[in-house]
Structure 1
Amino acid sequence: MLKSLVNKYNIAGPRYTSYPTVPYWNQETFLLKKWKSSLVQSFKESNSDEGISLYIHLPFCESLCTFCGCNKRITKQHSVESPYINAVLKEWHLYLELFDEKPIIKELHLGGGTPTFFSPENLKRLITGILNTSKLAPQHEFSFEGHPNNTTREHLQALYDVGFRRVSYGVQDYNPTVQKAIHRIQPFENVKKATELAREIGYTSVGHDIIFGLPFQTLQHVEETILKTKALLPDRLAFYSYAHVPWIKGNGQRGFDDADLPSADLKRKQYELGKKLLAEVGYKEIGMDHFALTTDSLYTSMINGDLHRNFMGYTASKTQAMIGLGVSSISDSWYGFSQNVKGVESYYNLLKDNIIPVYRGHILNDEDLVIRKHILNLMCQFETSWTDEKLYFNDLPDTLIKLKEMEKDGLLNIYSNKIEVTQKGQPFVRNICMAFDVLLQRKKPDTQLFSMTV
């Protein structure tokens, strides 16, 4: 039965870190002036109550991992560090000029690229530069992505000293054949050392990222990786499907053929096996593709109904405004999205002219805002309702008709004013969200824009 459902629903679809999804942003009507106004509105509404989130993109890596879909710049020249940090701080100051009071930072995340490409001193200078011009929310959460091969005690201590308490390490898979194919060689001993160092210093949440569906990856490889992961017992896990999108991400993902990738049926078996093994030691499934121990804030947020999803993935708390700093970063005012230019040189040139380095975006209309709420509910709580008439939208009857087939397959239950995703349907939540995605339904793409849902 599972195999037939996988075959039926394994289609290209968004991961819904936003709605509208990036390919459906209306760039013709987007203006930087409109984006700034939407951010100022959001800031006024929410800064004093909940604060803001910051995402900082640090794009540099010393080598290319061929599974990676992130925006990165490959170099071994660490002279790039200081100019880039100066630029990020300048961008931050351009945003500060928009606000009439100091931002209250509730959440801050360093992503990449490889944040630990940067020296501990430069990372500390970056964060200090931001903290000196802002306030901290009482329950703030600072996190960063660390590479197990180059995250040193000095990195961990420097970031701990400026408020970081959560780190996530990219593990992917421990099998040497798979690691060679994705150009990410990191022995278990390196991950063990980095994990133990973080805990020794005082980090309260250590996460591991694991991927299934990688080239040459077998069911046994996934089992061995999960068993090694269980030995370290990270506080939370991202266990997600490899997104093969070489038409978007360029040469990095062309290092192996489609024939080298596991079938959709095998990928689903890999996930179900991993999920079973993780449950045996107390991990709880959080939203889509995430797991956490009951002591971790991600689990607590799910139980309390506070789980949120944005361009950083799942987060334990919500802020209405999220500012993205650095190349390719995406910002979210709730009323609009904007994305920075992707090239380092273009980024520097715009900042030199005191221009916030945005190159595209989308201002949400009334319909967008309603559907965004439904998709966010489904992705975080596996249910949504329209008991509040403000959450009704014109295409809802057509949406429910599209969902009837999924109801017959046992993936969800449709009631008079709400739908609930069943446990059987949770692995197919992206497909369920697609029925609500009226922009996708109105204009089906001519070419493949998204990774496969399974």
Structure 2
Amino acid sequence: MTEQNLIQKYAVAAPRYTSYPTVPYWDETSFSKEKWINAVKSSFELSNTNSGISLYIHLPYCESLCTYCGCNTRITKNHEVEKPYIKAVAKEWQLYKNILPHKPVIKELHLGGGTPTFFSPQHLKNLIEAILKDCNLHPEAEFSFEAHPANTTEAHLKTLYQLGFKRLSLGIQDFDEKVQEIINRYQSVEQVNLVTQQARNIGYTSINYDLIYGLPLQSKKGLLATINEVILLKPDRIAYYGYAHVPWVKPGQRKFTEAHLPNTQERQELYELGRNMLTEAGYVEIGMDHFALKSDSLYKAQIEGNLHRNFMGYTHQYTQLMIGLGVSAISDSWDGFAQNVKKVEDYLALVNANEIPVFKGHILTKEDLLMRKHILNLMCKSQTSWSALDLMNDNFVDSLNCLHDLEADGLIVKHENFLQVTKLGERFLRNICVVFDARLRQKDLETVVFSQAN
């Protein structure tokens, strides 16, 4: 079967597997805030003294809506919202610290959004100082933040650098003006270049660009021009995502229809164009949807077998406990997940009432942990192996018995107790992981909740 035929065959809805179980298949009925707090305490004891913990802080505000966006955002030009929100995030972290037995050791801290650079440098400084108060830093601590090139100032860069931030991620998506107009996301090559050079001059050690293929009105000519500009700017990492069209989840995407989107073959051609250009320019594919220079820590992690994946995507840092702060943020204790309420007003009300603002979650079963291990191995190492103990689980055995098509199509090589994803199969990682997704298999597979896998 040709690669094009395989792409048509496997062009089905599938999760991106930044977690397992994925959010739509959490068992919310057996979850409680009390169980979550106990999971945090247990995980903290195991992780804090060894690897430290991670913090993700969700800053939801944007001045305008990017219509392609699938994130939880709040659109406003009123910057008076900054101060009360930052106070609430600091207070939420204090509520967590109140239940922990000793000082947290922070290994990883990431600001996401929304648009973190919506906030003023001073307010970001106040936030980070409040977060770090009464905490210890891991010797390998790493801080990073996402930014919009059009509103990131040198003051933002300097302030956050002085607070310990060394990694910067710029959302670019596409430089083509037609695409920028329909997705309502504007930034010029000159703006991106300015922020990139300022960050490098200040001392940032890693800069990431986010690019998206499959956007409305996107063409090979426009994408070629975009990636040529990106190669000249030479970021250390590139996240090259397929656009996720989920208008039933994100109404902003209804600004355009599927008629504006490239079809399956055109989408594949866009991906291959970008992939080939990046690899020819010296970037190495990392897991799924990521590329890095050989000088970057993400590449080194892949070579050394230390690549990890969490709700923030791929990282070379592993921590067992990640606490999400802010509206809609998701936390991970390894054996449990929890998500904060999704509306800013609800979030502020709960935190100001001294309540941890979790509203749903999932406590992992032994089977969940088994499946999570194998899916994470596949996503990060393109291989996994199993023991006789694993084979005692019926759903895992069922997964192994469902690999025939993938093997016949040349996407995997299966041995007695070992599975290796082939070079061809790396293009279909999400499809391979679906086979091990017992929770998805047990539900109605025709219910569309995920974007197209390829």
- Which residue of structure 1 aligns with residue 173 of structure 2? 172
User: Which residue in the other structure is 1:358 paired with?
Assistant: 358
Q: Please state how far the C-alpha of 1:159 moved relative to its aligned partner.
A: 0.2
Match of 1:450 in 2: 450
Contact 1:370 1:392 in 2 (8 A): no
Q: How does 1:237-248 map to 2 (within 5 A)?
A: 237-248=238-249
Tell me the SS of whatever aligns to 2:21: coil
Deviations 1:372-427 (A, max 9, x none): 00000000001011036357632233212221111111100011001110010011
Q: Where in structure 2 are there 5+ consecutive unaligned residues?
A: none
1:211-249 per-position Cα deviation (integer Å, ceiling 9, x unaligned) = 000001011222111111000000000001000001011
For 2:185 and 2:354, locate their aligned partners in 1 and report how far apart those are by CA, in whole Å. 38
Q: Distance in 2 between the 1:293 and 1:38 partners?
A: 37
In the TM superposition, what are the counterparts of 1:2-401 in structure 2 within 5 Å?
2-250=3-251, 252-387=252-387, 389-390=389-390, 393-401=393-401
Q: CA deviation at 1:46?
A: 1.0
Cα shift readout 1:67-102 (whole Å, capped 9, x = no counterpart):
100000000000000000000000000000111111
2: distance between equivalents of 1:392 and 1:86? 49
Aligned to 2:328, the other structure's residue is in SS state coil
Q: Which amino acid aligns with 1:191?
A: V
What is the CA–CA distance in structure 1 between the aligned matches of 2:40 and 2:401, rounded to whole Å?
36
Tell which deviates more after alignment, 195-204 or 388-397: 388-397
Within 1, Cα distance between the matches of 2:104 and 2:333? 14
Which amino acid is the alignment partner of residue 147 of structure 1?
Answer: H
TM-score (normalised: structure 1): 0.98
Deviation (angstroms), 1:129:
0.8
Q: Amino acid of the residue matched to residue 435 of structure 1?
A: V
Q: Whole-Å Cα distance in 2 between the matches of residues 27 and 395 of structure 1?
A: 21
In the aligned structure 2, how far is the partner of 1:397 from the partner of 1:118? 50
Q: 1:156 to 1:297 in 2, by over 3 A?
A: same
**How much does 1:141 deviate?**
0.9
Code of the residue aligned with 1:351 in structure 2: it is V
SS in 1 for 2:19: coil
Inter-partner Cα distance in structure 2 for 1:342 and 1:194: 31
Aligned-partner Cα distance in 1 for 2:391–2:230: 42
Amino acid at match of 2:130: G
Verify the 8 A CA contact 1:329 1:339 in the aligned structure 2. Answer: yes
On the 8 A contact 2:391/2:397 being kept in 1, the answer is no
- After superposing the two structures, state which structure 1 stretch, 418-427 or 391-400, moved more: 391-400
The more displaced of 274-283 and 13-22 is 274-283
Task: Judge conservation of contact 1:53–1:107 (CA < 8 Å) in 2.
Answer: yes
Secondary structure in 1 matching 2:249: helix
Deviations 1:17-47 (A, max 9, x none): 1100101100011000000101100000110
Contact 1:387 1:418 in 2 (8 A): no
Query: 441-450 or 25-34: which moved more?
Result: 441-450
The letter of the residue matching 2:415 is Y
Unaligned runs of 5+ residues in structure 1 are none
Secondary structure of the 2:12 match is coil
Alignment root-mean-square deviation, CA: 1.0
Letter in 2 for 1:353: A
CA distance in 2, matches of 1:393, 1:40: 28
* Distance 1:168-1:100 versus aligned 2 partners, 3 A rule: same
Q: Equivalent residue of 1:208, what SS?
A: strand
Residues in 2 aligned to 1:344 and 1:404: alpha-carbon distance in whole angstroms = 47
1:338-363 CA-partner distances (Å, limit 9, x unpaired):
00001011001111211100010000
Preserved CA contact (<8 Å) 1:219 1:270 = yes
> CA–CA distance in 1 between the matches of 2:418 and 2:260?
42
CA distance in 2, matches of 1:296, 1:128: 28
1:421-436 equivalences under 5 Å are: 421-436=421-436
CA distance in 1, matches of 2:392, 2:220: 44
Give the C-alpha shift of residue 365 in structure 1: 0.6
Report the residue type matching 1:359 in the other structure: F
Q: Under a length normalisation based on structure 2, what TM-score does the superposition of the two structures give?
A: 0.98
Q: Distance in 2 between matches of 1:289 and 1:133?
A: 37
After TM superposition, give the deviation of residue 133 of structure 1 in Å.
1.9
CA distance in 1, matches of 2:94, 2:350: 14
Conserved 8 A contact 1:57-1:326: yes
Contact 2:61 2:113 in 1 (8 A): yes
- State percent identity of aligned pairs: 56
The answer to whether the 8 Å contact 1:386/1:392 transfers is no
- Per mean C-alpha deviation after superposition, the further-off stretch among 295-304 and 357-366 is 295-304
Query: More displaced, 382-391 or 167-176?
Result: 382-391
Letter in 2 for 1:282: G
Q: What is the total number of aligned residue pairs between the two structures? A: 453
- How far apart, CA to CA, are the structure 1 residues paired with 2:438 and 2:361? 19
One-letter amino acid of the counterpart of residue 200, structure 2: R
Post-superposition shift, 1:447?
Answer: 2.6
TM-fit CA distance, 1:122? 0.5
What residue is the counterpart of 1:404 in the other structure? 404
Contact 1:370 1:391 survives alignment (8 Å): no
Query: Could you give the per-residue CA deviations for residues 115-157 of structure 1, whole angstroms, max 9, x where no partner exists?
Result: 0000000001111111122110001110000100011000000
Shift of the alpha carbon at 1:446?
4.4
Residue aligned with 2:394, SS:
coil
Partners of 1:388 and 1:49 lie apart in 2 by 29
For 1:378 and 1:393, locate their aligned partners in 2 and report how far apart those are by CA, in whole Å.
Answer: 19
Distance 2:125 2:380 in 1: 33
Instruction: In structure 2, give the amino acid aligned to 1:201.
Output: I
Distance across 2 between alignment mates of 1:303 and 1:391: 29
Give the whole-Å Cα distance in 2 for the aligned partners of 1:366 and 1:102: 30
**Counterpart residue identity of residue 371, structure 1:** M
Return the letter of the residue paired with 2:331: S
